[in-house]
Structure 1
Amino acid sequence: MLWAALLPETGLSESQRTDAVRAHAVWCLQFTPRVSVAEPASDCPAVVMEVEASARLFGGKRQLVERIKAQATELGVAQLSWAPTSLAALALARAGRSNGFAKPLQALLDELPLTVLGAVAAHEATLARLGCQNLGQVRALPRGGLSRRFDKELLAALDRAYGLRAEAHTWVELPDTFSARLELMSRVELAPALLFGARRLLLQLCAWLSARRSGVTACTLRWCHDVMRSKTAGDGGWLTIRTAEPTRNLEHLSRLLAEHLAQVELQAPVGDLQLEADEVQPLQEQSRSLLSDAREDGESLALVLERIAARLGSERVLRPVTAEDHRPEWMCHWQPAPDKRPHRLARPLDHPQPTFILPQPLRLALRDSRPLYQGPLQLLAGPHRIEFGWWDRVGERPGESNDPSAPGAGTHRRVARDYWVALSEHAGVLWIFQTRLADEQSAWFLHGIFA
């Protein structure tokens, strides 16, 4: 078996230690469901997890161990140790050792002091008077005498650590919702400096999402001001970051949060942070190619646009969105790039469409009832009749004024046109139409150019 033990940082208060152990346990659940808190009632609790069964899922033991090591340091884990049993991993972690496979397990544990196991440390004074300074000397004592003089938990703990007795654990359950709190080591006065602590919370969030096979589209970071703040500063503040699609990408969420924090001015020093997942959606896993692709490591356009919009403002980063409309002027409209409002895609057209559309149709001159544009036009294909929009009133589309007094308000945008593909000797292939409304004088217009 492959067990890992994680010890939180030293010098923490009781509440900070409790939060750290809880955070480590939730973070471990992304690797395996077999996560437990070892000796929770002691002054030095730890999180242990069994990852033997999950090794193949993460590409083997070596890759899994390297991944856990890389993230554990950033999470604030003081000591990470490995061993064949959970109590052996815990004992090695408390002794400051990491590799429980360097030598036979018995040889490694025999060298460790009495304080590494809670059941043995409880009798440290008595055992020291008997001349015992390490676990090996305790095991050398007669078992009958140990069982009569000390409680049964001492021998049971030793047997479980050495792999002589089966271990029993109470597994940590994955919470249905995510809310993590972090008490900062020192007061922070500048909002961008909150990212260091907030990144630890994001690391926990991404691990929780990974365990749930989900992604987040909205999460809220809250901060509490120091108790010595001024009366006008308030209790704290908050900000919500949103993504266009579900994600659990730590780097993207960190960069997005950094852009938002750069625009925040704290009213007082901050002592506590809290991160909550507001909107969580199932994340559809993508099949990876057998061959490595360098593009997989790159950042997608959607993620880049979200980060730019967070910096410049969503109203300054727009993207075109197609609509189910036959009128060329309104087949496309613009909306903020991170906006998640649903839209209907236009159906495939069975007639030619120009590459460029003029902002406003250009009225053409006529000669003998034939349209002119840099010379006479030769009609190549058509007509394609569009009769649409009798229900569409100005001001009913996104970005348009609904003010009844606005120019054009109260009118319909009905069109009745015959479109033709025309050829100009000098201008190339054009897209023109002839109006057909009863209340309009029949005229020809240039509307698009084929590239």
Structure 2
Amino acid sequence: MTRGLEPMLDPLPMQVLSAVLPHMPVLLRTGARTLGDVRRLPRAGITRRFDKSLLRALDQAYGLQPEAHLWVELPESFLTKLELPFRVEHAPELLVGARKMLLQMCGWLAARHAGITAFTLHWWHDSMRSKDAGTGGSLVVRTAVAMRDIDHLFRLLSEHLSKVTLLAPVGDLELAATEVHALHEVSASLLPDTVLERETVGMLQERLAARFGPEKVCRPIVGDDNRLEWICTWRSASEKRPRKPGPPSRYPAPSFVLAEPLRLSVRDGRPQYQGPLKLLAGPHAVEDGWWHRDEAKRESHVVVRDYWIAWSDHAGPLWIYQTRLESDSAWWLHGSFS
């Protein structure tokens, strides 16, 4: 169990865990009031008296089991309906409600990495209509290529509705994606294409620095320091770019680095993290920082470590190290791989 979680979670009211709520009356009669009280109940009794989800939720909250999140599964087809707040007598006025439905459809298309070449707008007449008007009508809008540009689709729908005459007031709308195709897109930048067409990223940084001040716009600089804590620094965007870092290490760098390394327990000479760790590759010796001293804190940042890639059955590949300067040669968790 992660020891750091116990003093923080045990005093909390037990109802903060949603899995406890269905069993609150029974747990209150047992005298339980906090998560610590529930955790101290016999595990076998919890399994017999309650369902397994309560015990699983407790273990996940205390770090004994990994959390398994359910993927959001989108429907295979798109169909949405909308009741208009007022009765519409002219077709162009349907655009007010239709735009909301188009936004939903474009969001669905973006999540599926798809575009559309045809969609259908249905409208339903108000119940107080003449018999000759019928129940409603529909309109199919097509595009030359698959797309999900909301502005272009809205303009196309507007052009088509301008030619439609409603036979009776409309109260409800329905939008369906008729022809959907996969899109193979390549994203080259996090910045909008319209910005990149007018100026480069460097020009944009300079303009923002001039507007908000040089200290407000920074960029990350990866140096040639072998210590993970100081390998990346933030510099003002207006500063001259430093020299390029040295050749990369032959060892992979972790995807995520802890702000503070976590000391690991050791059992039978093996480091532990939610169970024993298996050393896969290493050691990668790091000896650096002899020149780095914080005069304000009167401390040196010398690093003498042996890094290893370790495997955890619960957390996957981890980046751990063993100190070589301290007398106890402790093991520490420093990062993980995605």
- Pairwise TM-score range, normalised by the shorter structure: 0.3 to 0.5
Task: Kindly name which structure, 1 or 2, has the bigger radius of gyration based on alpha carbons.
Answer: 1
